[in-house]
């Protein structure tokens, strides 16, 4: 099997209406934003690097917090299969990575950490950094093979090929590793750092063939005036934008997931206290 799945409970009335209203993931995209204070997160990152020597970024925090949020709210860890939601057993996090090309351009590729909710922050960061280094160096044989094969597909057939691959991967739930394709390559949630590109915010489109219903895009951390005790003072803030599939996730559920991520970023030591395994998964908010 490609994925470990369990039957989902029968949908409610609104969910049945949503399933009947929209027929393709490109149609039901919904968007939201969250403005976060980042002073504690920046101090946490600085202290972490000083104590451990390990590279840790805002993207790591967002990705790990998202994995933990899906563990706390498993009803958000879903995909569309045979026209209805199916619950994922594992929580995988996919981070989009810029991959330099010999032409000087940069392409996007994926670095996915499976079962990310079971890892400590330290182990998650180490696993993600290893995957990022591997794909950037073009040492992931599966990804490179897939790119070479994709380059051979005529443009007018690409949509058909992607839909067919998605159908086999997720609807039929077939593990394609025997033909050199990865198992569950996109995970439960996608994180793409707009801040690394110098963007304050952006609304990222979902890729229908991935069957991922939740995309998170942290923007750049910027210094702006904020109100504290009735006075304007300088502060550090970040905009976290979210795109989700309204057929699978309702706004109240997405809000709970985002509030958890926001609470973790605004108080990371509360989620990952120093001295307690440096990152054992914790619940905040």
Length of the chain: 285
What's the pLDDT at 281?
A: 46
Is 222 a residue whose pLDDT tops 50? Answer: yes
Strands (DSSP E) found in 101-184: 106-113
What's the pLDDT at 24?
A: 58
Is 227 a residue whose pLDDT tops 90? Answer: no
Tens-digit pLDDT profile for residues 91-145: 999 999 887 776 666 778 889 999 999 999 999 999 999 999 998 888 887 777 7
Q: Which of the four pLDDT bands, split at 50, 70 and 90, describes residue 254?
A: very high
Q: Which of the four pLDDT bands, split at 50, 70 and 90, describes residue 285?
A: very low
What's the pLDDT at 272?
A: 93
Separation between Cα atoms, residue 258 and residue 252, nearest integer Å: 10
Q: How many CB atoms are located within 10 Å of the residue 177 CB? A: 11
Separation between Cα atoms, residue 201 and residue 79, nearest integer Å: 26
Low-confidence winner among 2-16, 100-114, 121-135, 260-274 (lowest mean pLDDT)? 2-16
Tokens of 250: 């309702």
Is 253 a residue whose pLDDT tops 70? Answer: yes
Is 59 a residue whose pLDDT tops 90? Answer: yes
What's the pLDDT at 182?
A: 80
Separation between Cα atoms, residue 285 and residue 34, nearest integer Å: 15
Is 26 a residue whose pLDDT tops 70? Answer: no
What's the pLDDT at 199?
A: 94
CATH architecture entry for 36-138+184-271: 2-Layer Sandwich (3.30)
Is 226 a residue whose pLDDT tops 70? Answer: yes
Q: Which of the four pLDDT bands, split at 50, 70 and 90, describes residue 14?
A: low
């Amino acid at each position: 099997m490609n994925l470990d799945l369990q039957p989902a409970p029968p949908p409610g009335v609104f969910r049945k209406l949503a399933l009947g209203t929209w027929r393709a993931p490109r149609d039901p995209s919904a968007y939201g934003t969250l403005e976060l204070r980042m002073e504690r997160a920046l101090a946490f990152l600085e202290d972490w690097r000083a104590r451990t020597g390990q590279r840790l970024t805002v993207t790591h925090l967002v990705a790990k917090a998202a994995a933990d949020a899906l563990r706390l709210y498993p009803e958000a860890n879903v995909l569309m299969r045979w026209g209805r939601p199916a619950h994922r057993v594992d929580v995988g996090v996919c981070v989009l990575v810029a991959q330099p090309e010999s032409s000087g351009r940069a392409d996007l590729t994926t670095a996915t950490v499976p079962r990310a909710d079971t890892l400590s922050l330290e182990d998650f960061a180490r696993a993600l950094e290893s995957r990022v280094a591997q794909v950037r160096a073009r040492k992931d044989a599966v990804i490179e093979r897939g790119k070479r094969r994709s380059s051979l597909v005529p443009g007018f057939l690409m949509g058909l090929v992607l839909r067919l691959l998605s159908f086999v991967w997720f609807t039929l739930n077939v593990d394609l590793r025997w033909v050199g394709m990865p198992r569950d390559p996109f995970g439960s949630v996608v994180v793409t750092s707009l801040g690394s590109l110098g963007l304050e915010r952006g609304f990222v489109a979902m890729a229908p063939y991935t069957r991922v219903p939740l995309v998170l895009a942290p923007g750049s951390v910027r210094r702006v005036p904020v109100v504290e005790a009735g006075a304007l003072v300088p502060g550090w803030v970040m905009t976290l934008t979210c795109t989700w599939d309204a057929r699978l996730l309702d706004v109240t559920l997405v809000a709970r997931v985002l509030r958890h991520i926001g609470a973790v970023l605004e108080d990371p030591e509360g989620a990952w206290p120093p001295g307690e395994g440096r990152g054992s998964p914790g619940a905040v908010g």
